[in-house]
Amino acid sequence: MSFEKSSRNIPLNAGNVTILRAECQQRNGKWRWSSIILDAFVGSVDGDFRVGGWNFTTNATNVRLCGGTLLVALLRIDGSKYVPAASDLSLYIENIDGHLTAVNIPPDTFVVSPSF
């Protein structure tokens, strides 16, 4: 199930990396805070988000979350120009028993422990 249906208080922290946080409901009904580093599985190519890539934040500015699940940013293209881009995180992140978890990511490109 998409994370936003069983999560609340969903801030996005963009710095050297972009981190999605949420208070996620567990199977027992209790709530716990969880976070996921988006740069571990989201990249940018030619001004578009690429799920299965990594480290999009280095090519992004004005990173924000719209409507709870839509990742929006200006992404660098051609080295200096920025273009608007968006990606629906609900397609790639689930709340699994209180833990934000990346899903539907190509296994050969998923970065388990990036060195940011």
Total number of residues shown for the chain: 116
Counting other chains too, the contacts that 74-82 makes at CB distance below 8 Å and 24 or more residues apart are: 75/44, 75/47, 75/48, 75/49, 76/44, 76/47, 77/46, 77/47, 82/47
The secondary structure of residue 10, as a DSSP letter, is -
Over residues 2-38, the pLDDT tens digits come to 899 999 999 999 999 999 999 999 999 999 999 999 9
The domains of the chain, with CATH numbers, are 3-102 (2.30.60.10)
* Span 50-101, pLDDT tens digits: 998 899 999 999 999 999 899 999 999 988 899 999 999 999 999 999 999 9
